[in-house]
Amino acid sequence: MQLTGLKYGKKILDMVEFPVASMLDEEASHDEIKKLIDAHGGKCVVKPVFQGGVGKKGKAGLVRIVSSVFEAIEAKKDLFFAKHSTAGRTVQANGVTFEGFIPSDAEIYVSITSSTILRAPVMTIIVEGGVDVEEVDEDKKRVIPFNPITGIKTFHLVNALNELNCPAKYISPLVQQLPKLWQAYDNYGLLTLELNPIRMANMGGRFVPMACDIKVGFDQDNPAHKRLGYAEETFSSDITQFEAEVNMLRTYQGQSDVTELNKEGSILPFIFGGGANSAATEVLGDKAIISSDFGGNPPYEKMKAISDICFKHWLKKANILLVIGGKANNTDIFVTFKAIFDSLKENIKLNPDIQIVIGRGGPNLIKGMVYARDIMDTLKVPYRVFGFDSSMVGVLQYTLQLDDWVIENKNKLQKKAAS
């Protein structure tokens, strides 16, 4: 469950009193739009509204800065049903927002998520916001782990902002406001919370960090998100046949969250855990066919059914089956591995040349890996297994390198056959 943009995300920030840009939706009258433009230095920002989580709208030219009601209405006409292709799929907007323009010489990126490596929540800060976090050099961002009981503290933020050479005039305003994001994250069942950018608004000589865009991921098995009162369709983008089939398996036990990312991808990832999902999806990029989270200790029958659906749709075109997750607390590794590899045994005829990479930890790990090994040996498929003490990012990087090697060898064989 994800959402992007201020139309829906503003509610979360208002709940914790985090400053956010003024916003009108597509129902706004001409007079209301004019007042918004006049109140923000003669400009406003027009953006399309997409259901679910949709990124990279600015890069696609779907954000317009206008300076008159006429321009705002023309932008509304252009963007109301705009189509946007990202991560191998195309989605369509249904509405627009008119947002107050915040002039600023500084843009800040801030996100909160859970680290599977540190086993703790982390806040990431970049003082050169408005960009994709994966494109920023490591020395230009700070990842701050903190205790979920005490939350993010002032000294965490002051140290990080000073290390990033944030202008001194912005540090105090940011330190006053950023801890509120942990309140939102902790109180409403969030898995990820990203503000990009936060622009530093000059309010009569006093600087205020204003959220200008938001991206949120929810744990739909955590009832806390219901406090926000969102309608279910808020989280629903265009559903594919594959996503619909998996969604039918949602039960009280175990997650079955999937998103079809790129049907032309080459890696089929079975991911366990929200933090693992975020890391794997980011590192694998367009090579990932799907984004998935199958954690929550699913029973054998459910995991077997999920595996059957995934293999039916994607095994034939995948180079690599990746089974990845952090060190589980309660998910039974043997049960999930038995389900996945029983299904693989039944579906291997779809792709006898599949390569397999495993990186996992948790209860019954050895028993599960032995069961998987015996089936993989019987099927005579190549595999590589990493234990709980391996770096998840390292496993993902290995998988990418292996996929490059597979593609290179396929191309060589094709050229040889053609000659």
pLDDT at 87: 58
Q: Are 194 and 286 in a shared domain?
A: no
Question: Domain containing 113 — which CATH number?
Answer: 3.30.470.20
Q: Is residue 403 part of a domain?
A: yes
What's the pLDDT tens digit per position in 62-74?
899 999 999 999 9
Q: Are 116 and 92 in a shared domain?
A: no
Residue 58 pLDDT > 90 = no
Q: Is residue 338 part of a domain?
A: yes
pLDDT at 277: 79
What's the pLDDT tens digit per position in 111-156?
999 877 777 899 999 987 666 666 778 888 899 999 888 888 899 8
What's the pLDDT tens digit per position in 321-375?
999 998 877 889 999 999 999 999 999 999 999 999 999 998 999 999 999 999 9
Q: Are 208 and 321 in a shared domain?
A: no
Classify 52 in phi/psi space as left (phi over 0), alpha (psi -120 to 50) or beta. Answer: left
pLDDT at 44: 95
Lowest mean pLDDT, pick from 125-139, 225-239, 300-314, 398-412: 225-239
Residue with tokens 């109180």: 187
Residue 239 pLDDT > 70 = no
Structure tokens at 267: 């890696």
Residue 236 pLDDT > 60 = no
Q: Is residue 7 part of a domain?
A: no
Q: Is residue 233 part of a domain?
A: no
Q: Is residue 287 part of a domain?
A: yes
Structure tokens at 395: 């496993």
As a whole number of angstroms, the distance between CA 35 and CA 24 comes to 11
Lowest mean pLDDT, pick from 133-137, 142-146, 264-268, 308-312: 133-137
Q: Are 210 and 95 in a shared domain?
A: no
As a whole number of angstroms, the distance between CA 196 and CA 121 comes to 19
Q: Are 111 and 55 in a shared domain?
A: no
Sign of the dihedral defined by the CA atoms of residues 298, 146, 225, 91, in that order: negative
Q: Is residue 276 part of a domain?
A: yes
Share of residues in the chain with pLDDT > 70 (%)? 91
Q: Are 206 and 251 in a shared domain?
A: no
pLDDT at 101: 95
Residue 389 pLDDT > 90 = no
Structure tokens at 144: 């701050």
Provide the number of structural domains found in the chain: 3
Q: Are 209 and 358 in a shared domain?
A: no
pLDDT at 55: 64
CB 98 within 8 A of CB 28: yes
The whole domain housing 163 covers: 107-218
What's the pLDDT tens digit per position in 335-346?
999 999 999 999
